Amino acid sequence: MFIELVDALRCPRAHEESWLVLATSRIRARHIQEGALGCPVCRAEYPIRDGIVDLRLDDARSVSRAEPARVDSGVVDDVPADHLAAMLNLSDALGFAVLVGEWGRHADALLALEPMPPLLLVDPPEGIAMAPGLSGVRAGSALPLAVGAARAVAVDDTDTERLASAAQATRAGGRLVAPARASIPDGVRELARTERLWVGEREAHPSALVRLHVRRG
């Protein structure tokens, strides 16, 4: 877990949105290898092992995420990494992009393309090791991310809660990619569609607070 991405993570429990605090840690090259994140609101602690933060609630840790909504991985296999980078508009190294589930299998190939922003893998596939530029979280259905935190998100399943949270987590103007069978969540405008997937663009967040800066003097 890249230390700068901790700011974008949110406690998954049902209370007001809260950032997380790094409790204990072993850090190498600004990536947290082992440790824990704590929630200052509900006092929950989330372990970090092998660079992956486990943000699942206790009852979800004993069982892995339900599979029925998952789409065949052919959607992911059909898309070369450079096409995925283009669909997600990853043409510079600013911010970070999120790869959900099987899309994480493209992480190494994406990182070989430069420039490339840091990548956050949600529920990374087996056998993908975290490395510089690569962070991981395990999550429930909703992505545990701050509103508008990510520049782009690729989702590999059709779970409506996951898609809605992916739309929330994407900044205005940012891209979303999801399987064609997934319905397009609120706040996302379809840009392109193939037999296997669609590409959308996040519209402005209507609920976002507008902060007025008054210049004095």
Stretch that binds Zn ion, among 6-14, 72-80, 138-146, 202-210 (CB under 5 A): 6-14
Q: How far is the CB of 63 from Zn ion (least distance, A)?
A: 21
Stretch that binds Zn ion, among 9-17, 59-67, 149-157, 191-199 (CB under 5 A): 9-17
Q: Which lies closer to Zn ion via its Cβ, residue 11 or residue 153? A: 11
Q: Which lies closer to Zn ion via its Cβ, residue 57 or residue 131? A: 57
Determine the residue type at 43.
Answer: R
Contacts of 63 (CB under 8 A, 6+ apart): none
11 binds Zn ion (CB under 5 A): yes
Query: Is 144 buried (19+), middle (13-18) or exposed (0-12) by CB count in 10 A?
Result: buried
Report how far residue 180's alpha carbon sits from residue 167's, in angstroms, rounded to the nearest whole number: 16
Q: How far is the CB of 108 from Zn ion (least distance, A)?
A: 33
Q: Which lies closer to Zn ion via its Cβ, residue 13 or residue 196? A: 13
Label each residue of the chain as H, E or C.
Answer: CEHHHHHHECCCCCCCCCCCEEEEEEEECCEEEEEEEECCCCCCEEEEECCEEECCCHHHHCCCCCCCCECCCHHHHCCCHHHHHHHCCCCCCCCCEEEEHHHHHHHHHHHCCCCCCCEEEECCCCCCCCCCCEEEEECCCCCCECCCCEEEEECCECCHHHHHHHHHHEEEEEEEEEECCCCCCCCEEEEEECCCEEEEEECCCCCCCCCCCCCCC
Stretch that binds Zn ion, among 4-12, 87-95, 99-107, 209-217 (CB under 5 A): 4-12
Stretch that binds Zn ion, among 5-13, 108-116, 140-148, 190-198 (CB under 5 A): 5-13
Task: Looking at residues 41 to 80 of the shown chain, list those that interact with Zn ion (rule: CB under 5 A).
Answer: 41-42, 44
Pick the binder of Zn ion from 5, 6, 20, 39 (CB under 5 A).
39
Q: How far is the CB of 51 from Zn ion (least distance, A)?
A: 22
Q: Which lies closer to Zn ion via its Cβ, residue 19 or residue 34? A: 19
Q: Which lies closer to Zn ion via its Cβ, residue 38 or residue 133? A: 38
Task: Looking at residues 118 to 147 of the shown chain, list those that interact with Zn ion (rule: CB under 5 A).
Answer: none
13 binds Zn ion (CB under 5 A): yes
Q: Which lies closer to Zn ion via its Cβ, residue 13 or residue 65? A: 13
Point out which residues bind Zn ion (CB under 5 A). Answer: 11, 13, 39, 41-42, 44
